[in-house]
Amino acid sequence: MQEVRGSSPRATMVFNHTIMAGQGRSAEITRVLVKEVNWLGDLVMSLPALRAVRRAFAAARLTVLIKRELASFFDGATWIDEVIPYTLARGLRGLGDRCKMMAALRARRFDLAVVFPRSFDAALWPALARIPQRAGVASDGRGWLLTHKTRLAPEILERHQVHSYIQMLRNTLQVDGDASDYVPEVSESHRRAMRAWLQAHRRRPAGRLIAIAPAAAYGPAKQWPSAAYALLIDGLAARYGAEAVLVGTPNERDKCAAVAAASRAGALVAAGETCVGEALALLSLCDGFAGNDSGSMHVAGALGVPTVGIYGSTRPERTGPLGPKTRVLYHPIECSPCLRRTCRYGHYKCLTQIGADEVLRALEAIGAFDNSRV
């Protein structure tokens, strides 16, 4: 278990929001825990639902439980009272971490837990922490762990994923959300740090700055070829005088460095040099974004950065980027969408049919080169 961040005067207010606690009894809700999702892209898509919880329980103390590596996503979100980051080790040490987490949650005496992930563990933890009311989707054999549960209607699974979180809240707690309320807050201290980082590293500071995410955690069926990214970097420089900055997780740094080295123009490599909160700030300073279906793509689109998402095995209508300046490049073939991590046929044609010129044209069409924001 790790340290707790965040505090707010709101925690000392008088609370009066109530929901049904079963058997017709009404229970006062003064402390709400939200177990957040485990991937950056999903986190962006869950934001409208999280804000709906905030509005519905406006006087309550709102705490978010989230993986440590994602916790800084909320550094600019002053409307959240507390963030509990956690890390779970493997083996016996991981068991100890879980016991410490349960103790920490139990000590806070939460009245309600809202569980966004659909895994068994995500519902088990609030139950073991003795949180009396627990809302979530009845999936993965965990329905008995939830006091307020629902199954998602089949038609909602054909819509964008943002609606799945909202429907869960509507069905379990009669709380509605606004699907357009997805813009994350950027910490100003992180933005200052990223401005300084760019000033120290940029080679062509007068040009447009385009973020590129050449990796994706899901697997190669979501990854446009590295050679194509190298051509894109060169095209940005030759056609628009733009500079590229490659973003991603620490595990993706080597891939980003290899892509930069394969290009003639070169690129900045920020992957592995930023926490998630700093990555948000860096993306907010960019003039455009192009990359795979990834967390960085979702962040860029939600921030209003002109964003081109390159899709292969996944469904853009389900997990496409949110935002007013987004464009999806998707060339479905007879086996699309397969939703697989690797191509069963080994050709990855759904990705290789997309060319660098097509990405450049898409960036231009949505305004990435209209003006510089850095």
Spatial separation of the C-alpha atoms in residues 46 and 165, rounded to whole Å: 6
User: Measured between alpha carbons, how far apart are the two ends of the chain, in Å?
Assistant: 38
**Cβ neighbours of residue 225 under 8 Å, at least 6 residues apart?**
348, 351, 352
In the predicted model, is pLDDT for residue 103 greater than 70?
yes
Share of the chain above pLDDT 70, in %: 91
pLDDT band at 6 (very low <50, low <70, confident <90, very high): very low
State yes or no: pLDDT of 10 exceeds 70.
no
User: For the segment 67-97, what is each residue's pLDDT rounded down to a tens digit?
Assistant: 999 999 999 999 999 999 999 877 777 788 8
Would you state the pLDDT for residue 5?
Answer: 47
What domains does the chain contain, in order, with CATH numbers? 9-173 (3.40.50.2000), 188-365 (3.40.50.2000)
CA distance 300 to 202: 20
Residue 25 pLDDT:
33
- Return the pLDDT at 221: 67
pLDDT value for 64: 98
pTM of the model as a whole: 0.90
Lowest mean pLDDT among 2-16, 137-151, 256-270, 298-312: 2-16
Q: Is the peptide bond before 337 cis (omega within 30 degrees of 0)?
A: yes
- Distance CA(198)–CA(125), nearest Å, equals 41
- Between 215 and 283, residue with greater pLDDT: 283
Rounded-to-integer distance, Cα 266 and Cα 225, Å: 17
The answer to whether the CB of 31 falls within 8 A of the CB of 109 is yes
Whole-number pLDDT of residue 347: 77
Strand-strand pairing, 307-311 and 288-292? parallel
Residue 284 and residue 41: Cα distance in Å, rounded? Answer: 16
- Nearest C-alpha neighbor of 287 from the set 346, 199, 363, 176: 363
- Pairing assessment for the beta strands 148-150 and 209-213 based on DSSP bridges: unpaired
